[in-house]
Structure formats: structure tokens, C-alpha cells
Chain A
Amino acid sequence: MNFMYVIETKKLTKKFDELVAVDNLNLQIKEGEIFGLLGPNGAGKTTTLLMLTTLKPPTSGTAIINSYDIVKQPDKVRKSIGIVFQDPSSDEILTGYENLKLHGWLYDMPSTLREERIKEVLELVDLTDRKDDRVKKYSGGMRRRMELARGLMHHPKILFLDEPTLGLDPQSRDVIWKYIEKLAKEKNMTIIITTHYMDEADKLCNRLAIIDRGKIVVLGSPKELKKELGGDIIRLKAENLDISGLKKLKYIKNISDCDGEICLTVTDASAHIQEILSTIGKVDSVEIRSPTLDDVFLHYTGRGMRQDTPEGSWAEKAMHASTKS
């Protein structure tokens, strides 16, 4: 057994009838790391999370979390982890404070520590004033913050965050990010995040894995991944673009279509821009920039992240439910 890794999946697989949601996943996550799981809709992120948190049994394979096996020792695994779900899991009829108290009981926290932590997390998510209001009266963003407060309350060794800042305003996101970073550093907490926000992954994650169709497509630090793309991005907009000429230029690593425009991955773009423009002819606009995680994502999955909304978000479900009834 390797104690260096706080999470190690071994051929972790989940099948739903014919569909292979997670396909022989082998993943190692180090202690104190903030690890990101990215992927398009239905890539298997949430299923992976549910298996790692013992809520869904794997079809085959297993994972070792904090040296416990998720299949054989789920009780011990649950003691080591905390999770913030994508959907709200607070009871609407209870107040914010009561929800946190309930959580403290479920995690067997001594009462003084419980009250201390409740105070701490309420301040963190800025809900101290509203703690005695029923969750029903909270706005979407406030509920999200409530969920986070609860997941953080028992300071687990490993914390899973499923879309932690979904639907939050920029200021709140910033506060949450700072706190997540602080937890990882000070408490040596390992944090696993699934997210649809590339800037979030870029800012927070030490390493990330892009998953598609249940498999890891690429894994590395945001910096490495961007570097691996090999150069800068040139985005061209023009009518009747003829890209056949561009294919002869060796320094162009990749040509792809971004929402009707052409994206080129070019080593040392500023030195070559003149030649590219003369090859291609008249263009309406040109943009040169360094690659972002969005480009990395697009490159490896062939799909833009922004076009997707997170699968099965609670807001979506709520809308679906209300149109049904």
C-alpha cells in the first residue's frame, strides 16, 4: 500500500446497463492537493464522486481513500470525508442554524466544538445574520453558501466539492476560493473539485484531470497543460477563409473551429503573424493570446466547456419539475 496517496483508484468502473460511465479509472491524488475533475456533460465526474464517497458501489475495481477501501470499509471511508453536493441537501423547513446543528450531530461533534464551527462557517459564508431564517427563504446563492458551510463544518481529511461555486456571484466565489485554499494549506486537507468554470480550476487546482467518456484524457497541472498545447492561440475571423495554405506552415500545431471562427495554435505567434496573415488573405479581426484552460479543454475533448450547463443542476431539475406538475 502506498501511503503517499490519500486517494488511489484502481480500475474503478461503473456501468449502467450498456453505458460505461466510468471506465477503468486509475487516479492518484496526494495529500493536501487541490485536485480538479473536469469534463463535458456525462463524462463520469459525478458518478466518480458518488463512488468515491461510497454512495454508489462500483461495478468493478475499487478505490483506497485515506487507506480504507471504498468497497470493503465504506463506514471508515465516510468518517474521513466530507462532501458538498451539487443539489441542495439542506432541509428547507429548518433554519440555517438548525441544518448546521443537525450536521454536527450526524458527524458526532462535541457540542462546544460544534457551536464554535457553526459560528466560524456562518461567518465565512456570510450568513450569520440569516442563520435563524428558514432555508426556504434563502436565495439560490445563499443556499449554495449554506451547503458549503455544512460541508466544511467537520473539517474532513478529504473534502469533495461538486461544482462548489455554481450560481455564486464573483465576490462570493472569491471568498470561497480563498477559504478552500486556506483549508488545503493549513489543515493539509485534500480537496477534490468538479467544476465547469475553467477559471476556477485554473486558479485553485494544483493538478487536474480532464475526463471524457469515463476515461482520463489528460492529467497535469494547469500550467503544464497549457504549456503542452505548444504555443499561443491566434483567433481569426474572416469571410471565406481558405485554410489550405495554413496547413503547409509547420509552426502551426493545430487548427480548429471556435464558434465559426478559426483558432490556430502557433509557436511564437508574434514572429509568425505576418506570414499567417499574408497566406490567408483578408481577415476581419485577429486576436493573439496565451492559451487558457478553455483551450486545453477544447483541444482534448473537442467541445467547449461554456456551451454546456452542468448536468442535472438543481435549478434545472426544479424547472423541469415545475413544468411537469
Chain B
Amino acid sequence: MSEIKGIYALWYREMKVFMRERSRVISSIINPLLWLLIIGGGLGSAVSFGGINYQTFIYPGILIQTALFSSVFFGVYIVWDKKIDFMKEVLVAPMRRTSIFFGKILGGSTDTFLQLLILYGIGFAFMVTGIMPGLHLTVVSVLISLVILLITTIGLVSVGLIIGSQMESPEGFQLIISFLIFPLFFMSGALFPITNLPAWLAPFIFLNPVTYAVDGIRGVMLNISKFPLLMDVGVVCLFAVVMILIGTYAFKKMKI
């Protein structure tokens, strides 16, 4: 009982913070819009894949991009909790470290999900107005893609939490963007098809779990996919489970 209340407390805090930090909410809408309109529109004037315009093609990739940035950053943000003594206050409470970890995952996933829902709204508006033809946002495709996104998000929040729990100061933030988030994003097929890759690039892409999330979502939304849906979901699940396990361990070993 006490563990559930504690998890709820951590989630409550994240929600309050999310709702009150307007800059985060605004940038979570503006950023994907810029990608869709400028990169999608600009490149789209010259490029299209399989009869689908580029804007529509990258929409699943942009969903993943939002999940990626929001989730990993959320996790790494606990460095800041450590810096002010909020983390100590939580760690000294009579709560298991595992529960703290799950409270954080719940908070981070909800954060990310709220941003994704806004993006779904944008996608729906673009689909209806004909800006993104060929996008199938049906009940089924929305539900399946949400499940894939949820599992991916949980895995990615865990990745952030693992890094954050081991980091001493926020100075490494920039490194994480350069060496983790950008490579994961660019090497996921979010911006290009993964059917005819150069031989040196292919292994990186196929080792990246984010690739399978993009592939799965693109499959249900655009009918373009390289792998079977079950395989995509399977890889994403495996990724999330492994990250949760490592994360639980990292939280137990976390020093302050």
C-alpha cells in the first residue's frame, strides 16, 4: 500500500511540474511542427517514397523523435533532483528504490504521452485537411501505434534514468544529445526508408531498437514496413524489459 502511495506521489509531482512548465509543453508542440512543415515540406518538394509524400513518410518518425527526446531527457533530469536535495528526500523515505524507479517511469511516460497525444491531434488535422495524404489514422492504427510508443517510451525513460542515476552533474547533458539521442534518432529510419541501406550503415540501423518502433508504427499508419509487426513489437518489448531490469539495478546502486 505504502509503495503505491509513494509511486502516486512521484507521479503527482511530475504531472504538476509538467503542467506548470509551459515552455516544455510549447516546445513539445513547436519542435515536431517545424520538422513536419519545414523538413517534411522542403525535402518533400523533391523526395517521395513509395508514392507517399515525404511529410507523411516522416510523421511516424517524428512521433518517435518526440518520444525519444522527451523520455530520455526526463530520465536524465534526475541529475537535477540530485543537485537540489529532492532526491535525498525521496531516497530517505521508507520506500523501496524499485518503487521510486517505477514512480519515475510512470511520471516520465505520462509526460511523453501527453506530448504525443498533441502530436496525434496535429497528425489528424493534417490528414483531414489533405496536407498528409496516405496517412491512416484509424482506431486500430492509433491503438497499435500507441501501444508501440508506450513500450518504447518506457524503455527510453529507463535509459534516461539509468544515465541520470549514474551522472554526477548536469554538465554531461550535451554529450547525451550528441552521442545518444541524435544517433538513435538518425539511425532509426525515422527520416528515410531502411530497405536499400549502404552496407556499412545497415548493422547500426538494425541494432537500434528505435528502428523497430518506427517500422511498426509506419507499418500500421502507412502500410510501409520492413519487418512483420509482431517482430517489431517483440524487439521493442525486449528492449523495454532489459532497460527496466538494468534501471532497477542502477537505482539500487545509485549514490548521492
Residues of A within 8 A of B (CB): 50, 53-56, 75, 78-79, 81, 83, 85-94, 98, 102-103, 105-108, 134, 150, 314
Contacts and interface: CB of A to CB of B under 8 A. Distances in A.
A107 B94 contact: yes
B84 A89 contact: yes
A55 B84 contact: no
A106 B85 contact: no
Nearest to A108: B2
Contact of A106 (B6, B20, B255): B6
Contacts of A50: 256
Given A55-B256, A88-B84, A88-B85, A106 B16 contact: no
Given A81-B92, A107-B94, A56 B256 contact: yes
Top 8 A-B residue pairs of the complex, sorted by shortest distance between their CB atoms: A89-B85, A108-B2, A105-B9, A106-B93, A89-B89, A79-B94, A87-B85, A85-B85
Interface in B1-32: 1-2, 5-6, 8-9, 12-13, 16-17, 20-21
Given A88-B85, A91-B13, A93-B17, A78 B6 contact: no
A177 B11 CA distance: 35
Given A105-B8, A108-B6, A53 B92 contact: yes
A105 B16 contact: no
Dominant SS at the B interface? helix
Contacts of A54: 92
Contacts of A106: 5-6, 9, 89-90, 93-95
A98 B89 CA distance: 14
A186 B241 CA distance: 50
A108 B13 contact: no
Candidate in A98, A102, A134, A314 with the most chain B CB atoms within 10 angstroms: A102
25 contacts: A50-B256, A53-B92, A55-B91, A78-B93, A78-B94, A78-B95, A81-B92, A83-B88, A83-B92, A88-B84, A89-B84, A89-B85, A89-B88, A93-B17, A102-B9, A102-B12, A102-B13, A103-B89, A105-B9, A106-B5, A106-B9, A106-B90, A106-B93, A108-B1, A314-B85
Given A75-B96, A91-B86, A106-B95, 7 more contacts: A55-B91, A55-B92, A78-B92, A83-B92, A94-B13, A106-B89, A314-B84
Nearest to A136: B20
A93 B20 CA distance: 7
Contacts of B93: 78, 103, 106-107
